[in-house]
Amino acid sequence: MSPLLRRASRSRLVTLVRKPGCHLCDDAEAVVSRVCADLGVSWEHKDITEDEELNRRYWEQIPVVLIDGEQHTFWRVDENRLRKALR
């Protein structure tokens, strides 16, 4: 990856909206963690049970992946699609 692309990637933020005890959330976190580590992209996770707004917006879709605050996917995270979106 070129240094220019690497710098652009670092300014991105992936957010995984999840809840405790959710096996799909665990699967999504493994994919998000791996892809973000490979591409040098920052990521965070937020617990839907601790945020009323996230709960209202995404309860029926968790896990949800946001890229820079915009919804990218929900339920199952496709590794290749996430990589492509972050490049």
Query: Kind and range of the H or E element at 42?
Result: strand 42-47
DSSP string, 15-35: EEEE-TT-HHHHHHHHHHHHH
Read off the pLDDT of residues 42-61 as tens digits, 9 standing for 90 and up.
Answer: 999 999 999 999 999 999 99
Read off the pLDDT of residues 4-41 as tens digits, 9 standing for 90 and up.
Answer: 454 444 489 999 999 999 999 999 999 999 999 999 99
In this prediction the pTM is 0.85
Q: Which pLDDT belongs to residue 75?
A: 96
